């Protein structure tokens, strides 16, 4: 939304291709408390404000799922959507975010939507009065475990290590919440369901002792990380070992004219504020890139 806003302000013809409702990960976050100017704001509300603001400055937001972005021989880009629409442009800013990483254990795929979830805000209300499990040790896992205590009678936070990666303030909320019990040094080996096909227990294993156990839980929420959605770029582009895009200070990738912002790029932290900053830089840099192209063509 920020990239679209700044590109629109620069009087550039701007199309924002969004596969769902505008807002990305904001839509999966109930309450945001670290965006300047908003002590507390619901993710959905902030996303709507972003979209309205971008629209005001001329960004054309289209509901479309991008399948490929490729650079043509003339240096321009062709962006293809899943319904066959093609968009040709001299620059592209990739802000595709990421996809939740799966546990890849038996039962996970089979019982997705039947007790297995990757979004506490989306599905938490369905588990009122249930015993729940959250898997992970970062900010997302700890925040969602805390959030789920408003619905679950008990929330087990399962982490494969003996300490969290989450920020200290988030950890503090977990440790102070009487409804949360942390299970350290443990992984989920299998997800089981009852005769109706609904999750009812988890097979656990302590990675230090090797001891196996069973946890009675009717919901499991997986937050073990995200995989950047960079596979849409068909050309070779420099990235790190986990697939996040390398960019320069202008947010430009190794492909001239291809910029990246937010969760798809290599950086220390991935927050709303950093995504907004990335996108601001990317849009301004894209405008300067286009200005330089026009000057080259008039020489």
The catalytic residues are 119, 122-123
The helix/strand/coil state of 100 is strand
Strands 154-158 and 180-183 turn out to be parallel
45: Cβ contacts below 8 Å, ≥ 6 apart: none
In contact, 258 and 264? CB cutoff 8 Å: no
Q: Mind giving me the DSSP string for 196-241?
A: TS-EEEEEEEETTT--EEEEE-SEEEE-S-EEE--TTB-S---B-T
Q: Which tokens go with 23?
A: 């807002």
Q: Which of 141, 139, 156 is nearest to 218 (CA)?
A: 156
Crossing angle for the helix pair 43-56 and 2-9, nearest 10 degrees? Answer: 20
């Amino acid at each position: 939304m920020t990239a679209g806003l700044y590109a629109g302000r620069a009087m550039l013809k701007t199309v924002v291709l969004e596969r769902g409702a505008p807002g990305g990960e904001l839509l999966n976050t109930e309450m945001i408390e670290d965006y300047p100017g908003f002590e507390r704001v619901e993710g959905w509300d902030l996303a709507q404000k972003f979209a309205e603001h971008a629209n005001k400055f001329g960004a054309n937001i289209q509901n479309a799922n991008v399948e490929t972005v490729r650079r043509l021989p003339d240096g321009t880009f062709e962006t293809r959507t899943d319904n066959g629409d093609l968009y040709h442009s001299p620059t592209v800013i990739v802000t595709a975010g990421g996809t939740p990483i799966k546990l890849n254990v038996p039962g996970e795929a089979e019982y997705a939507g039947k007790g297995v979830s990757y979004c506490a805000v989306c599905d938490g209300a369905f588990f009122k009065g249930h015993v729940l499990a959250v898997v992970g040790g970062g900010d997302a896992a700890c925040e969602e475990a805390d959030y789920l205590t408003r619905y679950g009678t008990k929330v087990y936070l399962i982490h494969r290590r003996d300490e969290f990666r989450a920020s200290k303030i988030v950890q503090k909320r977990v440790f102070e919440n009487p409804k949360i019990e942390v299970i350290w040094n443990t992984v989920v080996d299998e997800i089981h369901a009852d005769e109706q096909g609904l999750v009812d227990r988890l097979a656990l294993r302590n990675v230090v002792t090797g001891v196996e156990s069973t946890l009675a839980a009717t919901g499991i929420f997986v937050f073990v990380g995200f995989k950047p959605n960079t596979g849409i770029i068909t050309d070779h582009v420099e990235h790190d070992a986990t697939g996040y895009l390398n960019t320069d200070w202008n947010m430009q990738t190794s492909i001239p004219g291809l910029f990246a912002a937010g969760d798809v790029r290599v950086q220390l932290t991935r927050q709303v504020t950093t995504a907004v900053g990335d996108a601001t830089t990317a849009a301004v840099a894209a405008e300067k890139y286009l200005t330089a192209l026009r000057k080259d063509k008039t020489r």
